[in-house]
Amino acid sequence: MRYSFSIMLSGAVLLSLSLPAKALTAVPVPTDPIYYEPPVVEISQEVRQYSCAEIDGAINQLHPYRYSYKPGYYQDSSNKLAAALITFDSIPIVEGWLGLAYLGYSSLVDEKEARRTQVVEQKIAMLQRVKAEKHCYE
């Protein structure tokens, strides 16, 4: 019994080896980044013509926009209310969905704030590079 099974198996292997092989094509995978990557801010000719004092003024004007004034997740009382609505859901359709919707909205606002502050940080870094090129620190 074992002998006939091994003959059948070896015959199947020989048959599969004699058939023409087809190449496997790669599955199309998107190469775009999953997370937001801010573009590197290029130095324009106008910025290169600034004096050291003008560069300092531009950096100082950008500083208030460098920070996010949205409270953190645990400091935001609206997030606490939304989590309570989800947890103590007495009316299934109304309260739980409202809580989930608000938490999603809060997360989107956090992402928008993070993107905004990253762009400002990039601009400040660009101005600091120009300042270093002009030897304003000396």
Residue 81 lies in a domain: yes
Q: How far apart are CA 126 and CA 120, in angstroms?
A: 10
Q: What is the pTM of this model?
A: 0.63
Percent residues over pLDDT 90 in the chain? 19
Structure tokens that stand for 44 in this block: 């324009």
**At 32, is the pLDDT very low, low, confident or very high (cuts 50, 70, 90)?**
low
pLDDT tens, position by position, 15-26: 455 556 566 666
Residue 22 lies in a domain: no
Residue 18 lies in a domain: no
Q: How far apart are CA 3 and CA 7, in angstroms?
A: 6
- The number of folded domains in the chain is 1
Residue 104 lies in a domain: yes
pLDDT tens, position by position, 40-92: 788 888 988 999 999 999 999 999 999 888 888 888 888 888 888 888 876 66
Domain containing residue 102: 36-133
Residue 25 lies in a domain: no
Residue 120 lies in a domain: yes
